[in-house]
Amino acid sequence: MLDFTSLPFRVERKEFTYLGITVTKKHKNLFKENVSALLSQVKRSITHWTPLSMSLVGRINSVKMTILPKFLYLFQALPIFSPTTFFNELDSVISSYLWQGKRPRLNKRHLQKSKIEGGFALPNFHFYYWAANIRCLVFWYFYHNRSGCPDWVTMELHSDNSISLPAALCSPLSSSSFNSIPNPIVVHSLKIWGQFRKYFKLCDFSLLSPIASNHLFKPYIQDGGFVEWHRSGLTCFKYLFIANKLASFEQLANKYSLPPSHFFRYLQVRHFICSQTSGSSPPPEPTLLETILQLNPTKRELISLLYNKMLNLTHISSSKLKTLWEEDLNMTISDETWASTLKHVNTTSLCARLCLIQFKVVHRAHFSKSRVSCIYPEFTPYCDRCKTAEASLIHMYWSCPSLVQFWIDICHTLSRILSVTLAPGPLIALFGISGNEVLVPASKIRHYHFVRCWPGGQSY
């Protein structure tokens, strides 16, 4: 019997910690000992943070700086399948922390928008989880039958020689079952890929599937001649299309130097394509799946790139907000003006509190007296200043008669300070947008950068 005490290192029979990761004896215990344990730790931390006096922006920043890096490290180090219920629980914990246990007043997808789009870049943990794991799958496809392949990619690609992993990434989701693969890392990576595809409805066969080394394409298993197609550059089924139409054998023979004896192989490939797709033409635009698989994994910031692609695909439009403001103002707001309005949310000031005020103004997050009276009938809807009209948002910010002289004085004062001409108007009062381009000297911007946040500050 081997004497473990004589070895120059300690032997652990159950689990050990390496670089912050708890390595368990059984693969199925990795999720509980790492991911679930981190969620419990986050809950304890949030319990201590909740009493602290922080704004919504401050809480979002604390999530981005302290919680996201920990989960992102686990997502990259441990390719283990995490159910959707886990992310629902995590989102619930984060939401309760952001809104201090109250009901959220804004859709979280508005908060998840980038700052240039008027959001606060609140992390979507599920998307980061997919991006971190899909990054490794891009290596599978990129280095398939390619020189310079990293050792870890070679090991995973040869986990089961009866299955081609690049082909598995492109196979129809309904026919995908890879539990027979002996490598649990590969099995979990493919399950994560399937979860991602199901969420974004990318369930169909992809023409990026390789022709050679493809377990789905039965003629290749019986005929090694398709390897010559790969060497000539005809690597995937998508290359059989020229000008979005399935090319004839003559066209392919001229382009890829195929001999006439390969005509029967062309018929086999054509039949396979027709059996896997609904038509003889590829989609006019590449799907998210194809866009991802064609990325170069050696480039930096691949996770951020993948994350932004997912975020853009689920982008929530702010056109409804724009329409509501147009109705209140009885005017048309151009797309350029609205884009500037969203951009100004986070560029008007270095002060996070003022940016948050402007965010709430643009996203109509404040409860006007008119709106409160609809919820509580006993509450008066009339404005506290003029006492004559219902206090809607636009009335409280701009159209109240008691505010006319106020905005005249504000614009007059700013015009003198900045040596520009600012005429009173709802766009500059609400969003800091003037009708004409106003050039302010840089020296005055440094001293009076706060003035662009002034309109947002007038929310009462």
The pLDDT of residue 317 is above 80? yes
| Predicted pLDDT at 86 | 95
pLDDT band at 309 (very low <50, low <70, confident <90, very high): very high
- Strand, helix or coil for residue 439: coil
pLDDT digits (tens, 9 = 90+) for 252-282: 999 888 899 999 989 998 888 888 876 556 6
Residue with the bigger pLDDT between 368 and 90: it is: 90
| Predicted pLDDT at 84 | 93
- Strand, helix or coil for residue 17: strand
| Predicted pLDDT at 450 | 43
What residue ranges do the domains of the chain occupy?
Answer: 29-123, 159-305, 318-449
CA distances from 132 to 136, 173, 189, 307 (A): 8, 21, 11, 9
* Mean pLDDT taken over the chain: 85
Percent of the chain exceeding pLDDT 70 equals 91
pLDDT digits (tens, 9 = 90+) for 225-257: 788 888 888 888 888 888 888 888 999 999 888
* pLDDT (average), residues 158-170: 86
| Predicted pLDDT at 415 | 87
pLDDT digits (tens, 9 = 90+) for 72-100: 999 999 989 999 999 999 999 999 999 98
Rounded-to-integer distance, Cα 39 and Cα 85, Å: 13
The pLDDT of residue 394 is above 60? yes
Rounded-to-integer distance, Cα 100 and Cα 94, Å: 10
